Amino acid sequence: MAIVSQPNGSARGGARTPLGYVIDSESSVRSFLTLILQGCSIDAAEYTDSIQFRKSPPTRPPEIIFLNIGNDAQDAVQTLNVLAKSAYGGPVQLMSSRGTAVLENVKAIGTQLKLQMLPVLQKPFDTAAIHAILLSQQVGNPPAATAKAVSVNLGEALRNNWVEFWYQPKIALRKKQLAGAEAFARVRHPQHGVLSPGSFMPNASAADQLALSEHGLISALKVAQNLGKIGVNLRLAVNIPVPALMNLKVQEIVRAHRPQLENWSGLIIDVTEEQVVQELGFANELSKTLAPYNVRLAIDDFGRAFTALMKLKAVPFAEMKLDRSLVIDCGTDKVNAPICKSVIDLAHSFGSMAVGIGLEKASDVMALVNMGCDLGQGYLLGQPMPEDRFTALLKQRGVPRPAAAAPAPVKAAVARRA
């Protein structure tokens, strides 16, 4: 079994996509890590233990390996021996819920075998910890969220074509099927790597925000057309600030770039509750103008400004995306759960679909299902990924068409700052 590491690949420019191994007996951990790797433009090969690992080698070598140390530490040691004999030269990330002494002992064995052993990772861990590891090893395209000091000019990024849009799956919770995707702006900086909006939006001028909004809208329409060519008629969403939306010629842009697809699923434009509640008259008129083009508005951060909620009933929003503070721990927090349920019911009473965002725990997903929430987004279900990676996954998994975005149960009836 030869596992010789290769130079780091890339999912861009036609180069080979990097590969990561995930060796862990817990299926939930394997799925969680695989989702993170895929969102960072890294393919993943999953194994339950060293026996399966030895029997089912992948067709190409990895750039990084995540190896769990379970109750039988010898299983992990056997895997390390296999890697050493195969002349694997890439990093090995040990992870476990066991004591530090066991981890350090296994790490020492790996070091003696001349393997590149990373600092041990104690379970449970979060997405940020994995991103930090991938960044340190320069594998894939993880977001540089840890580089808080990095600040770039949005106008410069736009002029240099550094801006791109990543897409996060939106899942129909009951059917467990793809129901859409949301676009998230990223800047691929030549020195700092991939940057999230926190690095380029805080000081962005109104003109640059308008230019980014137009770029995002046109990009989403073009991506919908490209997905249609592979048989996926997907409803995409893009986030646009209300001040920019008021100065954007949305109708003309949609008319010029509308996907030429039979029964096109349409487009969602997300606006924050805080901004749109001040401009409900404009939102109502825009909704009427865009309806013939199959473009709908949706509320982001729904439930944050409780005093203004009833005002939103005047506008036919397609979706209402629950504020993250309502979703986090809704499966275990006895105070938060009933509030979350009330906001979901309110969304349905408005004739809108309820969307839970920021999902990272299975308990929260199950709670939202029981509460009647329609759609879900989050790292547990899939994280933002470059267009080429997103398209490749759809092809790989043979997704011919997303689940239909059904009307909310009461009445007939995407890029957030992430």
Task: Report, as an integer, the average pLDDT of 197-204.
Answer: 91
pLDDT class for 341, splitting at 50, 70, 90?
very high
Amino acid symbol at 94: L
Q: pLDDT averaged over the chain?
A: 85
Considering the domain architecture, whether residues 114 and 181 belong to the same structural domain is answered as no
Residue 404 lies inside a defined structural domain of this protein: no
Q: CB of 319 within 8 A of CB of 344?
A: no
Q: Is pLDDT at 4 greater than 80 in this prediction?
A: no
Considering the domain architecture, whether residues 44 and 101 belong to the same structural domain is answered as yes
pLDDT class for 5, splitting at 50, 70, 90?
low
Considering the domain architecture, whether residues 125 and 257 belong to the same structural domain is answered as no
- Residue 49 phi/psi, 5-degree rounding, is -160, 180
Burial 387-401, CB ≥16 within 10 A → b, else e: bbbbbbbbeeeebee
Q: What is the pLDDT of residue 43?
A: 86
Handedness of CA 83, 137, 359, 268 (dihedral sign): negative
Q: What is the pLDDT of residue 1?
A: 56
Number of domains in the chain: 2
Instruction: State pLDDT tens for residues 150-163.
Output: 889 999 999 999 99
Q: What is the pLDDT of residue 392?
A: 82
| Whole-prediction pTM | 0.73
Task: Report, as an integer, the average pLDDT of 132-146.
Answer: 79
Task: Report, as an integer, the average pLDDT of 368-373.
Answer: 95
Instruction: State pLDDT tens for residues 239-272.
Output: 999 999 999 999 999 999 999 988 899 999 999 9
Domain-terminating residue out of 105, 137, 169: 137
Residue 204 lies inside a defined structural domain of this protein: yes
Considering the domain architecture, whether residues 247 and 202 belong to the same structural domain is answered as yes
Considering the domain architecture, whether residues 359 and 256 belong to the same structural domain is answered as yes
Report the alpha-carbon distance of residue 121 to residue 177 in Å, rounded.
32
pLDDT class for 385, splitting at 50, 70, 90?
confident
Considering the domain architecture, whether residues 245 and 372 belong to the same structural domain is answered as yes
Q: What is the pLDDT of residue 400?
A: 45
Considering the domain architecture, whether residues 110 and 229 belong to the same structural domain is answered as no
For Cα atoms 38, 22, 324, give the angle at the middle one, nearest 5 degrees.
Answer: 50
Q: Is pLDDT at 201 greater than 90 in this prediction?
A: yes
User: Looking at the DSSP assignment, which residues form a beta bridge with residue 320?
Assistant: 299, 354
DSSP state of 40: T
Task: Report, as an integer, the average pLDDT of 33-61.
Answer: 82
Task: Report, as an integer, the average pLDDT of 110-127.
Answer: 91
Residue 39 lies inside a defined structural domain of this protein: yes
Q: What is the pLDDT of residue 406?
A: 40
CA distances from 153 to 3, 202, 216, 251, 415 (A): 42, 10, 17, 29, 19
Residue 384 lies inside a defined structural domain of this protein: yes
Residue 418 lies inside a defined structural domain of this protein: no
Asked, as a colleague might, if the bond just before 58 is cis with ω within 30 of 0, I would say no
Considering the domain architecture, whether residues 376 and 351 belong to the same structural domain is answered as yes
Q: What is the pLDDT of residue 285?
A: 94
The domain that contains 291 carries what CATH number? 3.20.20.450
User: Which residues contact residue 115 at a Cβ distance below 8 angstroms, ignoring those fewer than 6 apart?
Assistant: 80, 83, 84, 88, 92
The residue ranking higher by pLDDT, 383 or 406, is 383
Considering the domain architecture, whether residues 160 and 88 belong to the same structural domain is answered as no
The residue ranking higher by pLDDT, 258 or 395, is 258
Residue 415 lies inside a defined structural domain of this protein: no
Report the alpha-carbon distance of residue 27 to residue 73 in Å, rounded.
18
Instruction: State pLDDT tens for residues 269-292.
Output: 999 988 988 899 999 999 999 999
Residue 256 lies inside a defined structural domain of this protein: yes
User: Which residues contact residue 281 at a Cβ distance below 8 angstroms, ignoring those fewer than 6 apart?
Assistant: none
- Least-confidence region, from 7-16, 98-107, 356-365: 7-16
Domain that holds residue 33: 19-137
pLDDT class for 340, splitting at 50, 70, 90?
very high
Element (H, E) at 108: helix 100-112
**Token digits for 312?**
């939103």
Considering the domain architecture, whether residues 49 and 83 belong to the same structural domain is answered as yes
- Least-confidence region, from 49-58, 236-245, 316-325, 346-355: 49-58
Q: What is the pLDDT of residue 13?
A: 40
Q: What is the pLDDT of residue 384?
A: 86
Residue 72 lies inside a defined structural domain of this protein: yes
pLDDT class for 66, splitting at 50, 70, 90?
very high
Q: What is the pLDDT of residue 398?
A: 59
Report the alpha-carbon distance of residue 345 to residue 351 in Å, rounded.
10
Q: Which of 312, 313, 339, 315 is nearest to 325 (CA)?
A: 339
Percent of the chain with pLDDT strictly greater than 90: 48
Q: What is the pLDDT of residue 38?
A: 78
Q: What is the pLDDT of residue 194?
A: 85
Q: Is pLDDT at 206 greater than 90 in this prediction?
A: yes
Q: Is pLDDT at 415 greater than 80 in this prediction?
A: no
